[in-house]
Amino acid sequence: MNWILISEIAYIILVLFVCLRIIYDTHHITKTLSYLLLVVFVPVFGMFFYFSFGINYRNRKMYSKKLFKNVKFERQLTVELRKYAREIISNKGDLLASNKKLVKLLLTEIASPLTNNNEVDLLINGEQKFPEVLKAIEAAKYHIHLEYYIFNNDKIGQQIEEALIKKAKEGVTVRFMYDDYGSSSIRKSLVLRLREAGIEAFPFYKIKLIYLANRMNYRNHRKIIVIDGRVGFVGGINVSDKYINSIETEPFSYWRDTHLKIHGPAVWYLQYLFLCDWNFCADCSLEPSDHYFPELESFKTTDSIAVQIAASGPDSSTPTILYSLLQAISLADSEILITTPYFIPNESIMDALCIASMSGVKVKLLVPFTSDTNLVNAASRSYYLELLNAGVEIYRYKKGFVHAKTLTIDDEIAIVGSANLDLRSFDLNFEVNAIVYDRGINKALKEAYYNDLKDADKIELERWKQRSWYHGFIENLARLMSPLL
């Protein structure tokens, strides 16, 4: 009996210690309450879950994103980038002047410069992306850098593999970085073949059995390709047959997604991100040089589009992507169009969308009719009523699965990237978005959006209110888990 009493006292002390740790370490109120309830009411498992998934890595920094070792040079570069940005804002006139708050927000970090003289192509689905990727790989002369969350050993994966091996044999340096969780299926197949061909291939944040649960968090969700430091690809499309709608895949026969091809100085930032991530996962120290960052004067582009890149993750001191989205929403004067496959917003995003809609801005949200994750789907629906009451229009895509992560603001801002509107993208994953300040790209993205709405059902407020209490109960129950999803 004494041992039972001692064990109970020891467990209570342990629970108190963990609760104090949660309160000290977790700064989001909803997440703090969720973890506290889990630890108190789910014995043992609750503590295991917290230490596996709940540790705040933004406070600890997984690795330093510092690529420049010379502090004096870095300060001088910061001055030059801000000067360059002011010149672009001045030359672009009203287009950038009206959005300079967003520009300045991203300029606070050295890795988010405003660039001009970019060519930008909007790529819809894998049918448009992959031919452009293969064409760019074939044209590579010096180096090819790839960074992907999911890279499958299927038809398109093997096609890109063959193209990379061919270029490696021609003397082009190829570096391939894959997320060890998202691309786990290629560890013992495609990756080994690449290495045998002389291609450097490394997993990002390798999963080890002893740290399995913790390392399943903080994944590299970015999709980046950089060719010779001049051409880059960024967006939501992974390397997988399911993004090519001429190939039948399960569980959805049609995947709707969006990507960008960029030719110009904006590729500098994508290169910067890749080198930082590469130095971390490959445990080496590639130094910045003209080889990776071509001189501004060397870019021969036929367009003059201003582009800024936003990236954040457990390596950044601030949630840059979240802040950039909030700032963009606040700048809207007439229309906000959002597409996201996973909608589990935090309070600030919910408030921003409701305030915009109630202030007369037309706000439309496009989400999947059926998600590939039932729990996430239920949690997402729990937010709809509040948005509908505020006047936000919500559409559910029925043609297949909409996986695009896009946002347009009025006629001037277009955002395409890897970040979902969910807590995982804001806090846990490494993400990257491209922000394009251009009326032409904005118009093209809008046209694609309204074309998608033809295959979507609009949720009517009164009908949504008439659903059975059971649906609301299940969705609100799932919402309690939303800080943990």
Count of C-beta atoms within a 10 Å radius of residue 167: 22
Catalytic residue among 167, 263, 405, 422: 405
Closest C-alpha among 123, 128, 178 to residue 152? 178
Closest by CA to 346, choosing from 421, 270, 253, is: 421
Closest C-alpha to 394, from 362, 423, 425, 372: 362
Q: How many CA atoms lie within 13 A of 447 on its CB side?
A: 9
Q: Which of the residues 179, 180, 410, 422 is marked catalytic?
A: 410
Catalytic residue among 403, 422, 438, 452: 403
Burial of 45 (0-12, 13-18, 19+ CB in 10 A): exposed
Is 291 an annotated catalytic residue?
Answer: no
- What token pair was written down for 436? 């394009």
For residue 369, how many other CB atoms are within 10 A of its CB? Answer: 16
Residues 6+ apart with CB under 8 A from 141: 172, 228
Which structure tokens are listed for 85?
A: 């940005």
Marked catalytic residue, from 223, 242, 259, 261: 223
Catalytic residue among 228, 257, 315, 438: 228
The yes-or-no answer on residue 410 being catalytic is yes
Asked if 228 is an active-site residue, the reply is yes
405 in active site: yes
Q: In the annotation, is 403 catalytic?
A: yes
Q: How many CB atoms lie within 10 A of CB 230?
A: 23
Q: How far apart are CA 340 and CA 323, in angstroms?
A: 17
Exactly one of 92, 129, 167, 221 is catalytic; which is it?
A: 221
Q: To the nearest 10°, the Cα dihedral for 365, 369, 373, 378?
A: 70
Burial of 320 (0-12, 13-18, 19+ CB in 10 A): buried
Which residues are catalytically annotated?
A: 221, 223, 228, 403, 405, 410
